[in-house]
Amino acid sequence: MINRRTFIKLTTASTCFFNTGFALAGNKYKTARYWRPSFGGAVVCELCPRQCVLNNGGTGKCQNRQNRGGQLLALGYGTPCAVHIDPVEKKPLYHMYPGEKTLSIGIAGCNLRCKNCQNYSISQSSPLKTNNVEMTPEDAVDEAVKRGCRIIAFTYSEPSVWIEYVIDTSLLARKKGLKTVLVSSGYINHAPFEDLASVIDGANIDLKSFDYTVYRNLNAGSLEPVLQTLKTARRKGVWLEIVNLIVPRWNDNMSMIREMCKWIYANLGDNTPLHFSRFFPMYKLADLYPTPVESLLNARKIAIDEKLKFVYIGNVPDIDSNTYCPSCRKLLVERKGYIATTHDLKGGCCAGCGTEVSGMWNL
C-alpha cells in the first residue's frame, strides 16, 4: 500500500495501477446518458451546469463525452487509468466503516479547471490520452470481492463525468452486498445527481469555497450547483462528508468560512463531518506556500463555534483526527495516519453515555 504523497507522485508522472492482471485497454465507448439532439447534428450535454453544445466530433469541457454522428458517447467506459486499494479514511470518509479497504477507481476527465489540482495529469486529460486497463463493471465488482474490499470508491478525477460507469458498477455492487462511494466536486446537474444518489451509499463532496467569485477564478465553476448537490445527497440518504481545502490567498477568509459553516448547520445538519484540508503547492499554484496550520486550527474553531459536531483537519501529521462522542467526549474512533481503531461504539451509539453518533459503522 502506498501513501497519499507517493500516489500523487506516481499519478503525476504516469498512471497508477496495482497488479490487477488486467490487460492494457484501448478506448471503450458507450452511449451517454443526459443529452439531447440539437440543430445540424449537434448535441447538448445535460450532465453538468456547463451544458456543452457539441458539433459532430466535438468533445465536452470534461474531455470525457464526445459527439459522434449525432450521438453523445461516454469515452473511456470501463477503462480506468488509476486503480488502487486505499483505506476508506483516505477519501476522506471518517464516519463510514472505519478501517475498511476500498477498491478505488479513476477514469480520466473533469469538468472543472482547479488551479491547485493534485491529480491534474489524469483529471485534466482525456481517456483517449491516458494509459488504461480494461475493467468492466463486472470486473470491478469481482476484483473488489477477490481482494477483500467491501467498498468501491469512484475517485482520483471527477467521477460524475463518467456517471454511466459509476451507475452500472454501483448497481452490480449492491447485488453483491458491496458499498459504493463517490469522491466528487459535486458540480453536476440536479437530475443526473438524483439518479446517482439512488445507487451510491456514501459521498465526500469537495466544497471548494463559499464565494462565487473564488469558485469562478480558482476552479472555473460555480457554487450554487454544488450546494444543490449537497442538499440532494442529504435528502436521498447518502452518507455525506465534506472537504474544504484551504488555499492561502484564495479561500482562507475566516468570515467566509464562518458563513459556510452556518450554511452546513442550517441545510445539512450539525452531524455532517467537515474536513479542513491543508493545501500544498501544486499544478498552477506551485509557487504558493502551504496552508499555515494556524489557519486550519482557526477554521476548526469557527466550525465548532457554529455548532458542527465533527470537525477534522487533514494533511497535517500528528494532529488529533479522532472521533469523540459529542456529548461526553469519550474516544470512539482512534486514528493514526490512515489506520483506524474503533473504541466504545456500539450499534452506532457511544457506549459511555448512549448518545447516537451519526455515520455508517457496521458492514
My answer on whether 105 and 180 are in the same domain is yes
Tell me, yes or no, whether 38 and 120 share the same domain: no
Q: Is the predicted pLDDT of residue 52 greater than 50, yes or no?
A: yes
Average pLDDT over residues 163-172: 98
52 and 105 co-located in one domain: no
Query: Exposure of 56 by Cβ count < 10 A (0-12 exposed, 13-18 middle, 19+ buried)?
Result: middle
Instruction: Express each pLDDT in 217-249 by its tens digit.
Output: 999 999 999 999 999 999 999 999 999 999 999
SS3 311: strand
Whether residue 250 sits in one domain with residue 223: yes
Residue in the block written with cell 456543452:
52
Are both 34 and 154 inside the same structural domain? Answer: no
Q: Which residue, 15, 50, 75, sits at the end of a domain?
A: 75
Residue numbers of the domain that contains 239: 4-24+79-320
* pLDDT number for residue 70: 96
Q: What one-character-per-residue DSSP string does 184-202 give?
A: E---S-HHHHHHHHTT-SE
SS3 assignment, position 75? strand
Sign of dihedral through CA atoms 69, 73, 78, 84? positive
Closest C-alpha to 166, from 105, 120, 119, 216: 105
CB 206, CB 260: distance < 8 Å:
no
The pLDDT assigned to 19 comes to: 52
pLDDT at 29 (0 to 100): 85
- The answer to whether 239 and 203 have CB atoms below 8 angstroms apart is yes
Alpha carbons 285 and 303: distance in angstroms, whole number: 26
Same domain, 38 and 85: no
Q: pLDDT-derived band of residue 17, with 50, 70 and 90 as boundaries?
A: low
- Provide the terminal-to-terminal Cα distance of the chain, rounded to the nearest Å: 23
231: nearest Cα among 277, 274, 180, 272 = 272
Other C-beta atoms lying within 10 Å of the C-beta of residue 254: 13
- For cell 450546494, name the residue: 227
- Residue 362: the pLDDT is 84
| 46 has a pLDDT exceeding 70 | yes
* Mean pLDDT, residues 170-195 taken together: 98
Instruction: Give me the chain's average pLDDT, please.
Output: 93
Contacts for 303 with CB less than 8 Å, ≥ 6 apart = 257, 261, 274, 276, 311
Total structural domains in the chain? 3
Per the rule left: phi > 0, alpha: psi between -120 and 50, beta: everything else, 41 is left
> By CB neighbour count within 10 A (0-12 exposed, 13-18 middle, 19+ buried), where does 93 fall?
buried
Measured CA to CA, the distance from residue 323 to residue 311 in angstroms comes to 9
The pTM of this model reads 0.93
1 pLDDT tier (thresholds 50, 70, 90)? very low
Q: What amino acid occupies position 348?
A: G
Give the side-chain half-sphere CA count within 13 A for 151: 30
Same domain, 350 and 233: no
The whole-angstrom separation of Cα 328 and Cα 331 is: 9
What average pLDDT score do residues 14-35 get? 67
User: In this structure, are 118 and 229 located in the same domain?
Assistant: yes
The 10s digit of each residue's pLDDT in 289-315 is: 999 999 999 999 999 999 999 999 999
C-alpha 351/C-alpha 223 separation (Å) is: 40
d(CA 350, CA 358): 11
Per the CB < 8 A criterion, the answer to whether 15 and 130 are in contact is: yes
Looking at the structure, tell me whether residues 148 and 268 fall in a common domain.
Answer: yes
pLDDT tier for residue 13 given thresholds of 50, 70 and 90: very low
- What confidence tier does 6 reach under pLDDT thresholds 50, 70, 90? very low
Give the residue with greater pLDDT, 73 vs 14.
Answer: 73
The answer to whether residues 221 and 96 belong to one domain is yes
Who contacts 233 (Cβ-Cβ below 8 Å, separation ≥6)?
193, 197, 203, 205, 240
Residues 257 and 298 grouped into a single domain = yes
pLDDT in tens, 77-131: 999 999 999 999 999 999 999 999 999 999 999 999 999 999 999 999 999 999 9
207 and 351 in one domain? no
